[in-house]
């Protein structure tokens, strides 16, 4: 049984907890608010999509440090970007590559996909690129590299087959801020209890 005493402190089963109701409620609401905010931002980054974004494709050659002219590609269209020995398409958060012949000649180093932006989420950047469903001999995780808005796929010497590069994102400033505020709330709760 919980009841109020005349000093506005909470009595629980006859014991005075020595914490005013308002202060205890505020600490709990800060913690719950920070936790819910972190969950919402996490859900937003998982729901982000590339469909509707226009990216740029080009093929590059290692021997001359030259790349082909840039081709624009609308993500979600039924077209594939076909160049040399590769056919590439992009889905909501992944890049699918089919190597048509093989092995890819040493003069063709690979595919560069740039200007990758998540529709409606301007603060999202690429934070991971994982190789999945790989049936192509000669392609490994070391052949995939990225920065905030660009993906490089080195197919030099790779045999025919298919593979997918799954992209992961995170809105770093928002996530760090919310995680930090949740930690501070926990530290504050522990300090007041102790």
Q: What is the pTM of this model?
A: 0.63
Residues 24 and 105 in one domain: no
Nearest Cα residue to 138 out of 115, 113, 106: 106
pLDDT of residue 155: 82
Residues 63 and 156 in one domain: yes
Domain hosting residue 74, numbered range: 54-170
Residues 165 and 177 in one domain: no
Residues 22 and 63 in one domain: no
pLDDT of residue 1: 47
Note the pLDDT tens digit of each residue in 151-177.
998 887 788 889 999 999 876 555 566
Cα 168 to Cα 104: distance, rounded to the nearest angstrom: 27
**Token representation of residue 145:** 């590299």
Q: Any idea which residue has 């398409």 for tokens?
A: 89
The answer, yes or no, to whether residue 64 has pLDDT greater than 90, is: no
User: Which letter does DSSP use for residue 121 in this model?
Assistant: -
Q: What mean pLDDT value characterizes the chain?
A: 75
Residues 73 and 140 in one domain: yes
The answer, yes or no, to whether residue 92 has pLDDT greater than 60, is: yes
Residues 84 and 97 in one domain: yes
The answer, yes or no, to whether residue 102 has pLDDT greater than 90, is: no
**pLDDT cut 70: percent of the chain above it:** 59
Reported confidence tier of residue 46, pLDDT bands at 50, 70, 90: low
Cα 85 to Cα 101: distance, rounded to the nearest angstrom: 6
Residues 78 and 22 in one domain: no
pLDDT of residue 45: 47
Cα 115 to Cα 89: distance, rounded to the nearest angstrom: 15
């Amino acid at each position: 049984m919980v009841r109020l005493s005349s000093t506005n402190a909470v009595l629980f089963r006859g014991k005075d907890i020595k914490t005013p109701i308002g202060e205890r409620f505020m600490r709990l609401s800060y913690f719950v608010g920070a936790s819910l905010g972190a969950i919402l931002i996490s859900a937003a980054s998982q729901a982000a999509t590339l469909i509707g974004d226009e990216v740029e494709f080009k093929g590059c050659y290692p021997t001359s440090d030259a790349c082909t002219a840039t081709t624009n590609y609308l993500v979600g269209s039924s077209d594939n970007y076909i160049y040399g020995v590769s056919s590439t398409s992009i889905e909501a958060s992944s890049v699918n590559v089919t190597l048509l012949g093989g092995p890819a000649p040493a003069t063709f180093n690979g595919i560069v996909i740039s200007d990758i932006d998540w529709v409606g989420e301007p603060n999202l950047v690429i934070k991971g690129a994982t190789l999945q469903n790989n049936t192509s001999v000669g392609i490994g995780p070391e052949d995939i590299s990225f920065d905030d808005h660009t993906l490089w796929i080195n197919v030099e010497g790779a045999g025919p087959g298919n593979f997918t590069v799954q992209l992961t994102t995170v809105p770093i400033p928002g996530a760090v801020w919310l995680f930090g505020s949740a930690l501070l709330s926990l530290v504050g709760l522990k300090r007041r209890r102790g």
